[in-house]
Amino acid sequence: MIEYIKAVILGILEGLTEFLPISSTGHLIVARRLLNFVDTGGTFELVIQLGAILAVIWYFRQDIWSRLRRLHSDRGLAWVLAIAFLPAAVVGLLMGSKIKDLLFNPLTVAISLIAGGVILWVVDSERESATDSTLDNVTRRQALLVGIGQLAAFVPGVSRSGATIVGGIATGMDRKTATEFSFYLAIPTLGIATVYDFVQNYQTIVESGQMGLFAAGTVSAFLVALFAIGWLLRYISRHSFRNFAIYRILVGLFILGLLATSVL
């Protein structure tokens, strides 16, 4: 029962942090160590992302369905999402496992949180960067630059949403469009990575008897992510991302403190 409680806590953390620019993977790496949660296959924090992905699909279900129905005549968003997804697909396929083995540790998370916080503070501004930006006028150049920026998110602590939102704002999107584009890009990026990781480690997960823990984490991630998506869209309509930048820096310093005192 204790392990299920831990799995639900980690799922809640995933749902809260996946789409905020504060790094869900970084938070999960640290939280898993603090909770002493045993992940036999080493894939828990990746697989439970499925809950957050399903939350995006459900939240935007009407818009997604509408776009799918007219896909034969209007492939604009589909094309730019494919362009933005391609860099991560190539790097993930070639180097994903090596990156995971080398960088998935609290020190990397702490440094990345602090550095990413500084970058987020610098890039963001108190005013909208564009007045007529929408998902339908995202250009292929913008998509490619966002996709290249997303590569930084292979380093835990950087934040996939943070990298793509910063990339979107830097290329001229307003905060709302950059955030929505980040949401939509999560569907292929996280969806394919999650399914691939789950299939590759399915036998290990089954043999470890942790399938129930994965399910508990995924369901809790789905429910909390639904709330987080709506909250973030409302928040950015009135605020900048600078509070997230401050949070990242403070959490990064806190993790460094835990490491210095041998708590982690």
Q: Is the pLDDT of residue 256 over 80?
A: yes
Greater confidence (42 vs 5) lies with 5
Q: Is the pLDDT of residue 79 over 60?
A: yes
Is pTM, for the whole model, over 0.85? yes
In angstroms, rounded to a whole number, what is the distance separating the alpha carbons of residues 218 and 18? 12
Both tokens of residue 259?
A: 């490491």
Total domains, the chain: 1
Three-state SS for 118? helix
Give the domain range for residue 11: 2-260
| Among 219, 189, 82, residue whose Cα is nearest residue 140 | 82
Q: What is the pLDDT of residue 200?
A: 84
DSSP class of residue 171 equals: T
In angstroms, rounded to a whole number, what is the distance separating the alpha carbons of residues 212 and 216? 6
Grade residue 39 by pLDDT with cuts at 50, 70 and 90: confident
Q: What is the pLDDT of residue 197?
A: 83
Residues in the chain: 264
Q: What is the pLDDT of residue 240?
A: 87
